[in-house]
Structure 1
Amino acid sequence: MSDTLRHMYGTTVFVCASEGATLRGERDALDIIGEASYLGADWVVVPAGRFDDDFFRLRTRVAGEIVQKFVNYRMGIAVLGDISRHTAASSALRDFVREANRGTQVWFTPDIDDFQHRLEEAAVARR
C-alpha cells in the first residue's frame, strides 16, 4: 500500500503507508510535512511501526523534536497503532500520550476508525 490522501469530515488527511522510511528525527518529519502540505493536508497519520524506537523513549527527545515540527507547521499528527509495549515500559510516555490525546493536534490512536471518530467529534465541536 502507498501513501494516500483522504478526506474525512471536512479534513484532508495524508495517511502514510505502513511500509516506508523510518522516522528518526526532525529531518524525516519535515519531509512528510512537506509532502503532506504540498497535497493540502491538515493532518498526517503515521503508523507507529514507522517510528524509530527512540521516538518512544522520551529521554532521547526525538518525539519532542518531531511533534514540535508538526506544531510549528500547524499540521496535526496521529500515531496509529498499538504502542502498548512502549507505554508499559514508561510512565512518562503514558503521561505524554494521555496529555496529547486531550489536545487537538497530536493524537495516539489504535486504528484508523478511532482516528476518524475523533475527527468527527472535532468537526461537530467546531459547528
Structure 2
Amino acid sequence: MNIEKVEINGRNIAVVRSNKILIWDVQSALDLMATVQYEVGCNRIVINKALLSESFFNLKTRLAGEILQKFINYRVKVAIIGDFSAYSSQSLKDFIYECNNGNDVFYLPTEQQAIEKLSTLK
C-alpha cells in the first residue's frame, strides 16, 4: 500500500494506492482509516474502487452501509473513484446518487475530481 499526501486549498488529502484489495470488511476499513491517520494525518481519503471487495457493491450484504457509517462516525470524508457504470443495480445507482449529494462520501470517475471535491468541503 502506498499513501500519498496531497495538499490543496489548505486541505490535506490522502490518496491510497495498492495492488490488492484493502477493504473487505468493517475492520479492514477501520484499519485503513487508522493507518492513513497515523502515517499522513489526513481525514480525507481517496481510494480506487478496485481496493474494495466486490461484496461492497452488493447492497444486500449491507457492507457498504456499515463501512461508510464508520467513515462518517470517525469524521473521515472519502471519495471512491472508478467507473461504476458496469453495475446494473438500481439500488446501487440510487445509493451512489444519494452519497454524491451528501457531505461525506462521494463516488467519482477520476482521482483529480475526487481531490478537487474533497478539497472544497468544510
TM-score (norm 2): 0.90
For structure 1, the residue ranges without an aligned partner over 5 or more in a row are none
Match for 1:49: what amino acid? A
Residue 97 of structure 2 corresponds to 98
Task: Provide the aligned C-alpha RMSD in A.
Answer: 1.6
More strand by share: 2
Task: Say how many residue pairs are matched.
Answer: 121
More helix by share: 1
Identity %: 32
Q: Is 1:17 equivalent to 2:27 in the alignment? A: no
After superposition, the C-alpha distances for 1:29-64 in whole angstroms (9 at most, x for unaligned) are 011110122221021111011111110000101101
| Pairwise CA distance, 1:121 | 4.1
Residue 68 of structure 2 corresponds to 67
| Pairwise CA distance, 1:3 | 2.0
Residue 107 of structure 2 corresponds to 108
Q: Is 1:4 equivalent to 2:31 in the alignment? A: no
Does the 8 Å CA contact 1:4/1:14 hold for their aligned counterparts? yes
TM-score (norm 1): 0.86
Does the 8 Å CA contact 2:13/2:118 hold for their aligned counterparts? no
| Pairwise CA distance, 1:75 | 0.4
After superposition, the C-alpha distances for 1:79-118 in whole angstroms (9 at most, x for unaligned) are 01112112xx100000010010011110001001211332
Distance 1:120 1:77, change over 3 A: closer
User: Quick one: distance in 2 between partners of 1:59 and 1:67?
Assistant: 15
SS at match of 2:12: strand
